[in-house]
């Protein structure tokens, strides 16, 4: 194991390594909860290392990585105020808060074994003197096999560094050389043997002030011995480890109501609120007459490149991980750049999505195995059919990030509604407002259609003028009293 930078500087390992649970707004949004105060857990000092390797034991599945800003104490802090706390920080560096999710259940939240393993706290490679940094302007980035997966800064934190230090110093002495891991932004996920994780911490004001890239290679290791608590994972643990978004916001009532309203009507109401780019253009239902309502999960493909596909296209890739993490009511929305000359999903993976309870699949690319897909019964919207596998045109790249599909921006958690007219993206905060207005619009249009059917002219009727609106109000009251005629 390589020597860690704290040992190089102080001649000994840190006495304490303290980690913060949830501290970034982006991570809180991903988790679906925002804490009022910071909370903490301890990591073992023997877990500290520098750049190098980390082992994932055979038979385990979920080695999670979390790029973080690490604070190294330069002098003791006891009962310091937030105003004085930053002066106790000697250095800042990059950290990778690694953990084996398979062992989380074993310690019921203490993280002793899941986060305390040898090599599970890489730091470095260089220490930045704290006086060279504005604590509100420190960036952190993480790459997985060269792809940027985390990009945030201390400006996006829920709690300032000084508050964390002052809070901890209320009850304990923070000593020189102690390390505080300050939490991770959205994008933390899972790495597998053969993959490389890199973390960098830097000044937003002077990118030349940097920790350098902290590189950790994941290697396979022998299985854990059979004694003690066994490793154990379930679907909830997988979703948490891979960084799945919070549970869908749609209630059963909202799903039912959205399923009764035409996409065209919802589109009108979104346009009235300035959302004129909410339609996923160029996609149609594989089976006409199909309706779809659900919560977006996202998958992004990038254009085929031989070396990238070799690194990301095989095995348990982003496409398979996305489908394996789908939950009831989720809609997998895929960005394929409108390229319909290779399939982005086929019958086997669509079946897996259906078994997982997914509400449907939307891709602005093609699907393959079109006939089995139509027989499956899973709502699928696509730009066409093609026999080729995705490797002809696409590399499965990342999941649960903001994507573009059919010209529409889609974020995890957005509400997706689709029918024969196409598919729409509704921001979660607008769902009830847009739906209520759409229901009111369709009620008016039902009255208008009835009047036109009786031979009335559309003049003054469509849209309703004051006179026709009075007649509509009477008609509506009768409908609600007597029921539909």
Q: How many domains does the chain have?
A: 3
Q: Using one digit for the tens of pLDDT, what is the confidence trace for 337-389?
A: 999 999 999 999 999 999 999 999 999 999 999 999 999 999 999 999 999 99
The two tokens of residue 345 are: 């999903």
- Look at residue 134 and tell me whether its pLDDT is greater than 50: yes
Same domain, 282 and 403: yes
Same domain, 428 and 440: no
Model confidence pTM above 0.75: no
* Cα–Cα distance measured from residue 199 to residue 67, given in angstroms and rounded to the nearest whole number: 6
Domain that holds residue 372: 252-432
Q: Using one digit for the tens of pLDDT, what is the confidence trace for 213-268?
A: 999 999 999 999 988 888 888 777 787 888 765 555 688 999 999 999 999 999 99
Same domain, 20 and 85: yes
Coil, strand or helix: which one is 328? coil
Q: What is the CATH number of the domain that holds 189?
A: 3.90.850.10
Is 426 within the bounds of a domain?
Answer: yes
In this structure, the strands spanning 415-419 and 422-426 are antiparallel
Is 374 within the bounds of a domain?
Answer: yes
Is 247 within the bounds of a domain?
Answer: no
Same domain, 333 and 417: yes
Instruction: Identify whether the C-beta of residue 99 lies closer than 8 Å to the C-beta of residue 114.
Output: yes
The two tokens of residue 457 are: 């002219």
Same domain, 25 and 145: yes
Domain boundary among 194, 209, 242: 242
Among the ranges given (12-21, 64-73, 238-247, 392-401), the one the predictor scored with the smallest mean pLDDT: 238-247
- Helix 466-482, helix 431-453: angle, nearest 10: 100
* Cα–Cα distance measured from residue 112 to residue 68, given in angstroms and rounded to the nearest whole number: 19
Is 103 within the bounds of a domain?
Answer: yes
Q: What is the CATH number of the domain that holds 392?
A: 3.50.30.40
The residue written with tokens 């985390």 in the block is: 150
């Amino acid at each position: 194991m390589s020597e860690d930078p704290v040992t190089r500087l102080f001649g000994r390992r840190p006495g304490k390594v303290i980690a913060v649970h949830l501290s970034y707004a982006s991570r809180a949004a991903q988790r679906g909860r925002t804490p009022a105060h910071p909370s903490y857990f301890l990591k073992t000092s023997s877990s500290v290392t520098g750049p190098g390797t980390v082992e994932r034991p055979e038979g385990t599945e979920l080695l999670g990585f979390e790029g973080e800003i690490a604070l190294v104490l330069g002098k003791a802090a006891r009962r310091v105020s937030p105003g004085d706390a930053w002066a106790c920080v000697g250095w800042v560096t990059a950290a990778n808060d690694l953990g084996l999710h398979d062992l989380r259940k074993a310690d019921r939240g203490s993280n002793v074994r899941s986060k305390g393993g040898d090599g599970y706290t890489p730091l470095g490679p260089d220490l930045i003197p704290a006086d060279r940094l504005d604590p509100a302007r420190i960036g952190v980035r993480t790459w997985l096999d060269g792809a940027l997966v985390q990009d945030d800064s201390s400006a996006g934190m829920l709690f300032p560094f000084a508050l964390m230090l002052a809070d901890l110093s209320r009850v304990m002495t923070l000593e020189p050389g102690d390390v505080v891991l300050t939490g991770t932004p959205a994008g933390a996920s899972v790495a597998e043997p053969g993959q490389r994780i890199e973390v960098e911490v830097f000044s937003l004001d002077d990118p030349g002030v940097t920790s350098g890239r902290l590189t950790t290679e994941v290697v396979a290791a022998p299985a854990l011995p059979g004694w003690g608590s066994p490793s154990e994972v379930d679907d909830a643990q997988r979703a948490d480890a891979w960084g799945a978004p919070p549970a869908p916001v749609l209630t059963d009532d909202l799903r039912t109501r959205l399923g009764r309203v035409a996409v065209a009507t919802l589109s009108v109401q979104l346009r009235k609120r300035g959302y004129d780019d909410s339609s996923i253009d160029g996609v149609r239902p594989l089976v006409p007459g199909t309706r779809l309502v659900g919560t977006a999960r996202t998958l992004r493909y990038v254009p085929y490149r031989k070396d990238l596909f070799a690194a990301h296209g095989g095995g348990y890739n982003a496409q398979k991980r996305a489908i394996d993490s789908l939950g009831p009511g989720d809609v997998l929305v895929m960005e394929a750049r409108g390229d319909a000359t290779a399939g982005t999903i086929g019958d086997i993976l669509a079946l897996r999505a259906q078994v997982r309870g997914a509400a449907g699949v939307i891709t602005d690319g093609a699907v393959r195995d079109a006939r089995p897909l139509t027989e499956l019964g899973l709502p699928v919207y696509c730009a066409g059919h093609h026999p080729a596998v995705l490797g002809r045109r696409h590399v499965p790249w990342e999941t649960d990030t903001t994507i573009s599909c059919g010209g529409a921006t889609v974020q995890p958690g957005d509400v997706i509604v689709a029918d024969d007219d196409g598919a729409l993206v509704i921001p979660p905060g607008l769902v009830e407002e847009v739906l209520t207005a759409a229901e009111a619009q369709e009620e008016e249009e039902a009255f208008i259609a009835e009047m036109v059917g009786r031979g009335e002219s559309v003049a003054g009727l469509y849209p309703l003028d004051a006179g026709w609106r009075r007649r509509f109000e009477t008609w509506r009251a009768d409908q609600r009293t007597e029921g539909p005629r």
